[in-house]
């Protein structure tokens, strides 16, 4: 039996299960002892009797107890519990590494070393928080992703195995059969999959979710030729240069209800190798902040009188991250002390002149080139782009620093460690480092206190706080300061221009 402290209150679980409340999707799972099946709280099947129900904090915990995933509500579609996948807590940092596939080819001891904790202690924390050890979480995650690919795509089973991180088809078949009491091909026979040019997947989230506001933010910063954002979708190209692909993210069609068609974005993927599929999905889940728990975040922020009405007005705002960390870092440097529009113009010029041109077929989607790599910018002549000499050198400096390992986007680094390493670079101050942490990592507590928009937006009366005063006020918002930033930025975006004035490129 898992540690109940990792679960919501049992009465809350029971209420959420009976009402099929989508706000709790992924926060716990319902296992039915009479059937041996575990479900999401939103499962449309008739509710089992309470005496036959056991609650688990994760799918891995339910599977470790011998339960199989429901074929109707499909637990693989649940958003992850953002409480344990965000921020600097040890489990959160370890989960980010697991999401990157670390345990696929390295032992648990290596994972424990990366998060600076003993192996036994790490295992204990996972069992306490998630009800299963790290290797169990890793294994369940791979199998559930494979189950989604088998159900929603026409990928050959060999490619499904590769996409889910299995080294061989035999190993995949054995693991799948042991966990789910059926062969992968038997599950594929139960589903009807459209075989088209694009691979299409559902990306579920926990409501509320303001997808329109997310697209609005991305649209104002979209780089022509690299990405396209409009009122209904986001499209971009991705590498490698020798085999580029493109993707489109839009709202999943259909009513936003608690069933499997609701509360999801639609990913259409053209190109990309099977082995890169999970990484692409993980990038998009971070970029669109799909694993956030808006109610937990709101509960922590609503005690602030300035934020309370904003949370009521826009309860579904998420942190809009970027596709690539280096791309965001370059944009952040170019955006120092200039407007969003000016930064976008200069960054687009850089991408056009130094990025890798795409095949002509991409042009129909408005995609013309890949964003340049650090190797390209490390020694590039940036003098004709409209950058100051100092800023051009900072762009080259971050490219060189990434190449030699002085800075990186390691998921196990704490916010403090990340900021410390980045601000050690010439031309990178706290604003830039926190902005990169917010938009490259999606860090929920990143807080660029030097941002002029924030300094004016918090008072809301035309006055301006100092960075020190703003930081002191925001201390009560931890560990969700990043969400307060997005609320205040959004409020400033829709406020009259005179209320905000000229500000940095947030």
Q: Compute the radius of gyration of the chain from its Cα atoms.
A: 23
Cis peptide before 479 (omega within 30 of 0): yes
| Alpha helices in 2-77, H assignment, sequence order | 10-19, 59-64
Strands, E, within 127-169: which ranges?
none
Confidence label for 167 from pLDDT (cuts 50, 70 and 90):
confident
Please, which pLDDT band fits residue 189 given cuts at 50, 70 and 90? confident
CA dihedral defined by 278, 281, 284, 290, rounded to 10 degrees? -120
Mean of all residue pLDDT scores within the chain: 92
- How high is the pLDDT of residue 255? 58
Q: What is the pLDDT of residues 204-213, one digit of tens each?
A: 999 999 999 9
Any idea which of 70-74, 143-147, 250-254 has the lowest mean pLDDT?
A: 250-254
Per-residue confidence (pLDDT) for residue 345, from 0 to 100? 95
Any idea of the CA torsion for 345, 346, 349, 355, to the nearest 10 degrees? -120
pLDDT above 80: residue 133:
yes
pLDDT at 261 over 80: no
Q: In the structure encoding, which two tokens stand for residue 397, read together? A: 């400096």
Per-residue pLDDT of 472-503, as tens digits, reads 999 999 999 999 999 999 999 876 544 333 34
Q: Please report which confidence band the pLDDT of residue 29 belongs to, taking 50, 70 and 90 as the band edges.
A: very high
Options 13, 39, 43, 73, the catalytic residue: 39
CB 267 within 8 A of CB 281: yes
Q: Is residue 84 over pLDDT 50? A: yes
For residue 270, list its beta bridge partners: 246
Lowest pLDDT segment from 1-15, 136-150, 335-349, 357-371: 1-15
Q: Global pTM? A: 0.93
Q: Which residue has the higher pLDDT, 87 or 236?
A: 236
Provide the percentage of residues in the chain whose pLDDT is more than 70.
93
pLDDT at position 495 is: 67
Residue 170: predicted pLDDT: 95
Query: CA dihedral defined by 88, 89, 90, 92, rounded to 10 degrees?
Result: -80
Q: What is the pLDDT of residues 88-115, one digit of tens each?
A: 899 999 999 999 999 998 999 999 999 9
Instruction: Please give the pLDDT value at position 241.
Output: 92
**Hey, CA dihedral for 300, 206, 112, 124, is it positive or negative?**
positive
**Which one is predicted more confidently, 4 or 175?**
175
pLDDT class of 449 with cuts at 50, 70, 90: very high
pLDDT tens digits, one per residue of 414-434:
999 999 999 999 999 999 999
- Does the annotation count 13 as an active-site position? no
16-28 b/e (C-beta count within 10 Å ≥ 16 → b): bbeebbbbbbbbb
Q: How confident is the model at residue 81 (pLDDT cuts 50, 70, 90)?
A: confident
Contact 504, 451 (CB under 8 A): yes
> Does the active-site annotation cover 293?
no
| 412 phi, psi to nearest 5 deg | -85, -5
Q: What is the pLDDT of residue 308?
A: 98
Active-site entry in 81, 324, 451, 491: 451
Per-residue pLDDT band for 83 (boundaries 50, 70, 90) equals confident
């Amino acid at each position: 039996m898992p540690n109940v402290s990792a679960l919501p209150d049992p009465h809350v679980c029971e209420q959420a299960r009976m009402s099929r409340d989508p706000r709790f999707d992924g926060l716990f799972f319902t296992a039915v002892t009479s059937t041996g099946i575990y479900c999401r709280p939103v499962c449309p099947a008739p509710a089992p009797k309470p005496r036959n129900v056991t609650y688990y904090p994760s799918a891995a915990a339910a599977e470790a107890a011998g339960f199989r995933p429901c074929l109707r509500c499909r637990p693989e579609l649940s958003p992850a519990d953002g409480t344990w996948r965000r921020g600097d807590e040890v489990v959160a940092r370890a989960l980010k590494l697991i999401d990157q596939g670390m345990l696929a080819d390295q032992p648990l001891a290596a994972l424990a070393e990366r998060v600076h904790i003993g192996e036994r202690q790490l295992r204990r924390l996972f069992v306490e928080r998630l009800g299963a050890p790290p290797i169990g979480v890793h294994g369940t995650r791979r199998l559930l992703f494979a189950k989604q690919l088998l159900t929603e795509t026409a990928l050959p089973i060999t490619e499904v195995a590769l996409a889910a991180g299995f080294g061989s088809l035999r190993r995949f078949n054995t693991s799948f059969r042991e966990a789910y009491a059926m062969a992968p091909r038997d599950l594929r026979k139960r589903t009807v999959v459209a075989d088209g040019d694009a691979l299409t997947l559902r990306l579920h989230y926990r409501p509320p979710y303001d997808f329109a506001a997310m697209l609005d933010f991305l649209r104002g910063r979209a780089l022509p030729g690299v990405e396209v954002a409009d009122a209904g979708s986001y499209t971009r190209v991705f590498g490698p240069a020798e085999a580029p692909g493109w993707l489109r993210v839009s709202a999943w069609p259909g009513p936003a209800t608690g069933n499997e068609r609701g509360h999801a974005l639609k990913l259409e993927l053209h190109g990309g190798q099977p082995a890169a599929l999970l990484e692409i999905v993980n990038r998009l889940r971070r970029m669109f902040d799909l694993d956030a728990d808006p109610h937990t975040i709101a509960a922590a922020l609503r005690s602030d009188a300035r934020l309370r009405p904003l949370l009521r007005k826009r309860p579904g705002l998420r942190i809009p991250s970027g596709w690539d960390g280096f791309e965001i870092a370059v944009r952040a440097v170019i955006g120092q002390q200039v407007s969003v529009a000016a930064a976008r113009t200069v960054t687009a010029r850089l991408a056009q002149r130094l990025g890798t041109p795409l095949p002509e077929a991409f042009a129909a989607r408005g995609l013309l080139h890949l964003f340049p790599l650090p190797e390209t910018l490390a020694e590039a002549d940036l003098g004709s782009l409209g950058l100051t000499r100092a800023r051009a050198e900072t762009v080259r400096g971050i490219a060189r620093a990434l190449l030699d390992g002085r800075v990186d986007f390691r998921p196990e680094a704490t916010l403090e460690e990340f900021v410390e390493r980045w601000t050690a670079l010439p031309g990178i101050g706290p604003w830039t480092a926190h902005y990169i942490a917010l938009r490259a990592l999606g860090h929920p507590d990143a807080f660029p206190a030097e941002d002029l928009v924030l300094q004016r937006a918090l008072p809301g009366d035309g006055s301006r706080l100092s960075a020190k005063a703003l930081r002191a006020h925001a201390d009560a918002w931890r560990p969700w300061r990043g969400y307060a930033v997005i609320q205040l930025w959004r409020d400033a975006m829709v406020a009259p221009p005179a209320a905000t004035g000229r500000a940095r490129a947030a």
